[in-house]
Chains A and B, each alone.
Chain A
Amino acid sequence: MPETSKPEIRKLGYGEAVNAALHRLMEELPETLVYGEDVGVPGGVFGVTRGLRKSFGARVFDTPISEAAILGSAVGAAMMGRRPIVEIMWADFSLVALDQIVNQAANVRYVSAGRLTAPLTIRTQQGNAPGACAQHSQCLEALFLHVPGLRVCMPSTPQDAYDLLVTAVHCDDPVLVIENRTLYFGARQEVTVGGPVPPMGGVRVRHPGSDVTVVTWGAMTWRAVEAAELLAGEGIGVEVVETPWLNPFDTEAVVAAAGRTRRLAVVHEANVTGGFGAEVVARVAQAGVPLLAPPIRIGAPDVRMPAAPVLAQALLPDADRIAGEVRTLVRG
């Protein structure tokens, strides 16, 4: 492990934090490469990779619109000792090249009985933003969480945007980092940069409460926190537990939290059926947590995502809907 830089505190937005992590990683790991569509000279469609090309030259480059080649070449380069950090501009676009993630990257270590590894990181972003069409709105984490061999995380704060990426790139297995474009330009916060590589996994308690546990991830974390604040005013204590790492998933921490409050709601932006919320509920059930009420899942209904904001708003969970369903869970 190379020497890590001294920790320092900087005021960074979410996108800037990703950028800071990429700068650090390229400095400390000479085997890293950064590439993808528009990431080099233009610095990314969201500006997240700005300045890297200037600082690191040929290790940062633009690619053709060829997701299979981007991902496949990352697998190949990773097997040969490079540590590629590739960008898939929207998670929706990974679907044109799933083979390279599911059949290829995820198999490398296992099938070679550990003789080969594929330490690549795929950065992408997902979810709805007002006006986005059905092919630019999907939340696909459950698809990837069904793939053994692939690590998956979803940061929702500038600090986690930094930390999770650092951890991901240092990991010797393929990791998918799913960012969220509605967060890129959010408020700057104090971010500790540098320092040791954070461990993989763990949860973040984003709001304290003892009546009900809300498990959530991604941008929904902040809708859940808003809901918790609303309900706090009504005397309902909502503990919001964010699980930024979905694989590995900290089952123990989630089970412990549900065991304390004995009520569980899972909130995600993805549609409910086959969503990872089902897995969370199953794990808590299997652990034998004696819940006071049946657990609930809050997500988008099972439908395509419409472009019109008025239609999309009717489908996506927001603070009011979360608060309403959690209130019913607690009060009956």
Chain B
Amino acid sequence: MSERRLADLLAMWRIRAFEEKVRDLRLEGPIVGSVHLCIGQEAIPVGACDVLEPEDALYATYRGHGWAIARGVPVEALFAELMGRATGVNGGRGGSAYFTAADHGFHGENSIVGAGAPIACGAALAGRFDGSDRAAVTVFGDGAMNQGAVHEAMNFAAAFDLPVVFVCENNRYSELTPIADMVRAPRLADRAAAYGMPGYRIDGNDAEAVRFHMRDALEVAREGGGPTLLECMTERIVGHYIGDAENYRKPGELDRIRRREPIARLKEGLLADGVPAAEIDAVEEKARGEIEAAAAAAMAAPYADPATAREHLYA
């Protein structure tokens, strides 16, 4: 049991260390433009991706670095992408908000809120015709629950029993606005009932809880039972984007969030179960070492070649 939790801890540390390094590189200059970090939300991709099959299709958002990493996309290629290098996972075309790595079952981030949900329905639909057992997972935020495309996708998937898992990362804010102010019924999972699919509000700061529900939802989906909505409760410890002044936070809010965040919680649990502190700390060190090495390697790669900027538009 503690072995799996140590593996979760490592997977979460990889994401956090990556995101912290990204923040540094963004503030120091090598990364340019808007960046949305998932610090505090790592347990969701770690738990969910653990039970995905390679052929499953995953659609994330601009806050999707953690999902890409959890899906096994090499972090060096992600750093390179963020720094506009030729070795970037999209050769510099995608950037922070638009990573894609289909060969890792990572069908991409998306920086249009809600846009991934109908596309995931299509990936699931294709599975009906190609003989695969593919499920599709679409990830979006609480705010995206108010986007028309998401409503349409949920009904589409439900009406046709498509193998789709709708993963809503409810971090309580849509950019600078609390979701509580933008809906009348705050339990977003309850909306699932209206589409005739199961909906669960789960602890998104617990990778094990996410894993459990995700496995279940995938099983139902593959058996022809249709889609599921998982509302994963979490918090981002950082701003919406790098540079967000976070004026919307209440006094003491961040302290409370830090006490509940997934890495601190998992460490506390492991300690309580008698795992030596040194072993726990070594996990962080290992992750940070890997991340530093990947960032350095990415930084050493050449920039994308401007002469190629027009390539790949058509077949």
Chain A contacts to B: CB under 8 angstroms:
37-38, 41-42, 45, 62-68, 92-93, 95-97, 129-136, 301-304, 306-315
**Chain A residue with the shortest CB-CB distance to B90:** A307
**Contact of B175 with A by CB under 8 A:** yes
Residues of B within 8 A of A308 (CB): 84-85, 88, 92-93, 95, 303-304
**Within the assembled complex, what's the spacing in Å between the Cα atoms of A311 and B304?**
7
> Are B309 and A303 in contact (CB-based, < 8 A)?
yes
Given A42-B176, A133-B62, A307-B81, 15 extra CB contacts under 8 A: A38-B177, A62-B181, A62-B182, A65-B174, A66-B146, A129-B33, A132-B33, A135-B98, A304-B313, A306-B92, A306-B304, A307-B33, A307-B95, A310-B306, A314-B307
B143 touches A64 (CB 8 A): yes
The answer to whether B149 has its CB under 8 Å from any CB of chain A is: yes
Q: B97 near A: Cβ within 8 Å?
A: yes
Q: Which B residues touch A312, using CB under 8 A?
A: 309
Query: A64–B34 contact, CB under 8 A?
Result: no
B41 beta carbon closer than 8 Å to chain A: no
B147 within 8 A of A: yes
A-B contact pairs, 27 of them (CB 8 A): A37-B175, A38-B177, A62-B182, A65-B144, A65-B182, A66-B146, A96-B112, A130-B32, A131-B31, A131-B34, A132-B95, A133-B96, A135-B111, A136-B111, A302-B313, A303-B313, A304-B93, A306-B95, A308-B88, A308-B95, A308-B303, A309-B84, A310-B92, A310-B306, A311-B304, A314-B307, A314-B309
In the bound complex, CA of A261 to CA of B163 (Å): 64
Q: Chain A binding site: helix, strand, loop or mixed by DSSP?
A: loop
Which 3 residue pairs of A and B lie closest in terms of their CB atoms, listed nearest first? A131-B33, A307-B95, A308-B92
| A304 to B311 CA separation, bound complex (whole angstroms) | 10
Cα distance A41–B144 in the bound complex, in angstroms: 20
Tell whether, in the assembled complex, residue A301 and residue B310 are in contact, meaning their CB atoms are under 8 Å apart: yes
When distances are taken between beta carbons in the complex, the residues of chain B under 8 Å from A136 are: 34, 97, 111
- Which residues of B in the span 132-174 have a Cβ within 8 Å of any Cβ on A? 143-144, 146-149, 174
The listed residue (A68, A96, A307) touching B93 by CB distance below 8 A is: A307
Contacts of B225 in A (CB 8 A): none
B36 smallest CB distance to A (angstroms): 11
Q: Say which residue of B98, B181, B306 sits within 8 Å of A307 (CB atoms).
A: B98
Contact B313 A66 (CB under 8 A): no
Question: What B residues does A41 contact at CB under 8 A?
Answer: 176-177, 248
CB pair A63 B95 closer than 8 Å: no
Chain B interface: which size bin?
A: 35 or more
Judged by a CB distance under 8 angstroms, whether B234 is at the interface is no
Contacts A307-B96, A314-B309 known; A42 to B247 CB distance under 8 Å?
yes
Considering the complex, give the chain A residue whose CB is closest to the CB of B175: A38
B-chain residues with CB within 8 Å of residue A65 when the two chains form the complex = 113-114, 143-144, 146-147, 174, 182
> How far, in whole Å, are A273 and B103 apart by their CA atoms in the complex?
34
Is residue B282 contacting chain A, with contact meaning CB distance below 8 A? Answer: no
The verdict on B254 contacting chain A, using a C-beta distance below 8 Å, is: no
Q: Which of B149, B248, B306 sits near A314, CB closer than 8 Å?
A: B306
B216 to chain A, nearest CB (A): 29
Q: Is B193 an interface residue (CB 8 A)?
A: no
Residues of B participating in the A interface, judged by any CB pair closer than 8 Å = 31-34, 62, 81, 84-85, 88, 90, 92-98, 110-115, 143-144, 146-149, 174-177, 181-183, 247-248, 303-304, 306-310, 313
A66 CB contact (under 8 Å) in B31, B92, B95, B147: B147
A174 CB → nearest B CB, Å: 20
Known: A93-B112, A136-B34. A311 touches B93 (CB 8 A): yes
Partner of B306, one of A42, A93, A130, A311: A311
- A131→B242 CA distance, assembly (Å): 13
Chain A residues whose C-beta falls within 8 Å of the C-beta of B34 in the assembled complex: 131-132, 136
Query: Is there an interface contact between B98 and A310, defined as CB atoms closer than 8 Å?
Result: no
Residue contact A92 to B112, C-beta cutoff 8 Å: yes
Evaluate contact between B98 and A133: CB separation under 8 angstroms: yes
**How far, in angstroms, from A95 to B114 measured CA to CA in the complex?**
13
Nearest CB on A from B28, distance (A): 14
* CA A131 to CA B111, docked complex, whole Å: 13
Distance, CA A245 to CA B164, complexed state (A): 46
Q: Count chain B CB atoms within 10 A of each CB in A65, A67, A303 and give the residue with the most.
A: A65
Using CB atoms, name the residue of chain A closest to B143.
A65
Given contacts A41-B177, A65-B144, contact A134 B98 (CB under 8 A): yes
How distant is the Cα of A314 from the Cα of B92 in the complex, in angstroms? Answer: 13
Cβ contacts under 8 Å, A66 to chain B: 146-148
Docked CA distance A189–B240 (Å): 31
Using CB atoms, name the residue of chain B closest to A130.
Answer: B32
